[in-house]
Structure 1
């Protein structure tokens, strides 16, 4: 453009000159404009190339935010935030997880991600009428007509006056948003708009891949955790079946649980007989300082205690403590219930906040079921052991009364007779003295037999053949029954098999004395390369093995003992023709 300060009269020649200048200048101006546009496109392409290159190398959420900051930081935003979003379904609450943030040139991961109810994010994503294909650009929240008052208030509360929201969306599913915010109004340039819009698709793809990877890793960790849990359940189950002492059982269970689940405390509380208090049965902790104070006795009516509440409500409970100024702590209490009856409570504690979830209650519920059964079995075993001791004492008392005491009585009687004859007719003293000697020998034999029954470990020291021979001698002396033996040399058998054979022989001989009315018994033992056979045969009254009467339950006990060593047990008998007990145990 040419301008004059005074009127000028242009001639035809002037018009020709200016027209020629126009024709010459237009291509030059077009060339300059093209150059500037090309240079601008090259500049933008270079910016995008740097960001895309950083995105292609990103391995974490902080890397993703740092890649966006390569460009966005040039425009001095207050923050750049990466937020993952989950929309379960239409009408459902939006859940968000803040993963990383850029502020003042530093990118920070936001620690352990916590899901929150994303009210603001829900309102923001509602600004896109359909599938979000472009970034949301807001230069000033106060003047943008798309925002309602509630959303403006939330932006002000966050300290935002201008923002760019890049939607992360793929496959008709929200993945998250990247929010670039300014604390004051910010005029968003054409260049910024171009770059941010160009990053929408690339960022959506990268974040989708990243979240898929995280989901796969979470699934793998969950699978490994469940495998560890199942392994722990298997170990506890094995411990429950092999430990019959309550204290030892609970100590083992708590040790396994604490070690396999990486916990600081694992304690079991058992309900007392009155059903009023929970008593500490174990004290397992990973360090000298427990996460929570250890209580040794808790009233089941305590309204404030987690353990008491779990016992009363018969369900697993979780308590997470993360108060400021106090150490983080997670607690879980799961009741042990058997057939509707409360046995106790398993208590677990961790120094990690939010350590326990509902899935852990299910796993621990399986453990507590096993523990409850094991505790009850151990208690029943202890009661059975105590009863067995009483029964054994009563049996020994009967045996002493029926055998040794009778021998002692005979010795006393014979001695008095000898003393009397010594004064009246000394020539007849030998007869009562011989009787005394025979009674003393019988009493000694009886005592050895009783001692052997109390100490069956003699099998290990003396051998099976020797103890069977002693059993035969005891039977002759005590009951006056003719006992013959046909015993092979000491066999090469395990102690378990030898003990089983001895106990079967003892029970069979006991039944012969008690029921058979036999005059003669034969004990046979024969062993070869592949098996060992024991036979107890008598000439008593016999019986029908298919119609057992009360008092013959010992046959079931013998059969069970033989089955435990993988042998075969048989009974051959009939009324009036005696009985043969036969045991065959494979040795090959």
Structure 2
């Protein structure tokens, strides 16, 4: 060591001072990430000012992240001292000297004491000739030192230079202090941002979960979504949801590992289960090792097959409605953060469940209203069908299909009991398997079900295999038809509902609803089935009434034809017979009068023939469509003449054909008008004119009889006038009637062809 001081030139000292001034200002404005590079450049500048080939700053304070800043202007190796521990191991003597000296000079390595053998070895290996070390203190402790060394020449520095070097070192360390503080602030900011980001992700996740839960309104879907999201949110293997029902916790669903030991619907006592504790306390419960739980919970623990479990109660106001649980994290262990997250999630889940239940209630009410409307519309349609002219098989088939849809049945069947033959017959069905043809008609056996049905009560069987299957076990229990009936039902269906068809207080048959899946029947189902059975009974009863009505109508038509034969044809033929009997005698006495009687006989027979043809038209309505209007009118006129001896003048202008329905309506109007004339008018003659034009038709019927008073504001309901008006309206024709007492009557029908 030496106390000799080297004085540098004044010019360089000025440059050194300007350099210190520059870096003092420059380092203040540097960004924190620029400071390390600026220190190296500063060391380079000092090296140039002092003409020293190597300058190093060693930092040993743990308050700074950096350890070494080094500059050298030759190709010697950098010292491999990258950590503070290595620096302290390499320079123990030097550090001790710097802690108590303002600087350390080494000008001759041989003068170093034995305690500096480590430093001496390093310096000898680097062939250092001169070295000066200037300490830097931070909070009264040695924080770093600046080492200036040369392997080419010896140098000495005076106190002014050392002072300036210390100033530079302090500037550098101040910059490092600022860098450290800014990095710490940045680190804190990063940590804060990270936490904010994590919280933001948590919040976003919760909001997304909330959105998903509030968007999904189906209760079962919401329940499953809660379990799925609880597991995903906490990154666990299993998520479950227990809900409180009648003081019992019931497992509604689980998510994740299929080895979870509890089945859906599993019921847990509140007194002997971990979920029961969480529900009763209303607080989260974290169990890091389920094997450490009290013995009372061991049955539950051994069943669930998990190691660590977290349970959070679902609170709706002050009421606990269930428990969410998650178990066994995918990585790590469950902790307070998971508890906090799951607690926040539980609030969202509770709201979602409440919304889903409200929505479900609204849906149930709406579906009930829609079902009521559907039932009402179906019953109206059935009523319309009942009032239609459809045949009974078509009506029963329609009701069978409607009934199937209304009660959501797989198939329906209408059966009739034939008491005379003691058989049961299928009259109608909907979606019934073809295999049921084997029981289309089977013997009728009185049984317990029949006694119930006779009382107008239903027979509802939810489990057919249990109810009917036992009969197949004993071959002697059933007859062959009964066995076939049981086998075909059990092959296709699990449940059925049978309702009676009661007509005039007697059991007519049954309406049966079949279901391919097992079903419990509600009071509403049974009530609706009985209502539909009533509609079937009405259809059958209406069909019976229509058949009776048809029979009565046929008898009435026969009586009318017999009456017409008696009133018209028979009377005419009787008159003709009387004339024919006296003709031979009359011919001998008075040939001239006999000729008149012969002409009268001819008219009577022609009239009788016309009446017969008219009656034949009534028996065969299709003949009206085949005959032309002139032919039909000629027959009517001849029949009137033969029946009443009235002269009828028929005039037909044109030869256009009328549409079939128009021709028939015109014929009926003329027929009614001529009948009224024969019965009531007592005329001397009748005149009929018909104009058949391309797009227009007119018929005028005039008699010179008694006439009548026509009240146009209140049309008469007698003499068939309303019938004629209805006939005219049916073809969009205009009917006018003009009459005065003792002035006769004129009836005019105008019809024009529609352009469309």
Q: One fold, TM greater than 0.5?
A: yes
Contact 1:507 1:558 in 2 (8 A): yes
2:431 aligned residue (281, 285, 290): 285
Match of 2:258 in 1: 105
Cα distance 1:224–1:496, how it changes in 2: closer, same or farther (>3 A)?
Answer: farther
Task: Tell me what 1:449 maps to.
Answer: 614
SS of 1:242's partner is coil
CA distance in 2 between counterparts of 1:95 and 1:311 reads: 44
- Return closer, same or farther for 1:217/1:511 CA change in 2, 3 Å cut-off: same
Partner of 2:455: 312
Query: Residue deviations 1:14-39, cap 9 Å, x none?
Result: xxxxxxxxxxxxxxxxxxxx9xx99x
> 2:628 aligned with 1:483, yes or no?
no
Displacement of 1:56 after TM fit? 6.6
Cα separation, partners in 2 of 1:422 and 1:571, compared to 1, 3 Å: closer
Q: Report matched runs for 1:287-366 at 5 Å.
A: 287-290=433-436, 303-305=448-450, 309=452, 312-313=455-456, 319-321=461-463, 329-333=494-498, 346-354=511-519, 357-359=522-524
Instruction: Name the CA shift for 1:487/1:416 in 2 (closer, same or farther; >3 Å).
Output: closer
Q: CA deviation at 1:353?
A: 3.1
TM-score (norm 1): 0.62
Aligned equivalents of 1:321, 1:291: Cα separation in 2: 23
TM-score with structure 2 setting the length: 0.51
| Aligned equivalent of 1:500 | 665
How many positions carry a matched residue from both structures? Answer: 520
CA positional deviation for 1:541: 4.8
What does the per-residue CA deviation read over 1:303-347, in whole Å, with 9 as the maximum and x for residues that have no partner?
Answer: 425xx7466337x77543375786653434556789999987643
CA contact (8 A) 2:702 2:745 kept: yes
Q: Matched residues in 2 for 1:46 and 1:256: separation?
A: 57
* Residue 3 of structure 1: aligned partner: none
Q: Match for 2:229 among 57, 67, 77?
A: 67
* Superposition pairs of residues 350-429 of structure 1, within 5 angstroms: 350-354=515-519, 357-359=522-524, 375-405=540-570
In the alignment, the residues of structure 2 paired with residue 537 and residue 140 of structure 1 have an alpha-carbon distance, to the nearest angstrom, of: 116
Q: What is the deviation of 1:484?
A: 3.4
Q: Distance in 1 between matches of 2:301 and 2:709?
A: 94
Distance in 2, matches of 1:283 and 1:515, equals 57
| Residue 200 of structure 1, aligned match among 323, 340, 346 | 346
| Cα displacement string for residues 163-192 of structure 1 (whole angstroms, at most 9, x for unaligned residues) | 86544455788876546699xxxx996566
- Secondary structure (helix, strand or coil) at the match of 1:281 reads strand
Please list the CA deviations of residues 383-429 of structure 1 after superposition, one character each: whole Å capped at 9, or x if unmatched.
22221211222222233344445566677777777899999999999
Identify if the C-alpha distance between structure 1 residues 558 and 416 changes in structure 2 by more than 3 Å, giving closer, same or farther.
Answer: closer
- What secondary structure sits across from 2:428 in the alignment? coil
Superposed CA RMSD: 6.3
- The corresponding residue for 1:251 is 397
* 1:354 to 1:277, Cα distance in 2 relative to 1, 3 A: same
Structure 2: state its 5+ residue gaps.
Answer: 1-187, 470-489
User: Runs of 5+ in structure 1 lacking a partner?
Assistant: 1-33, 87-92, 146-151
| Bigger Rg, which one | 2
Displacement, 1:250?
1.9
State the shift of 1:66 in Å: 3.3
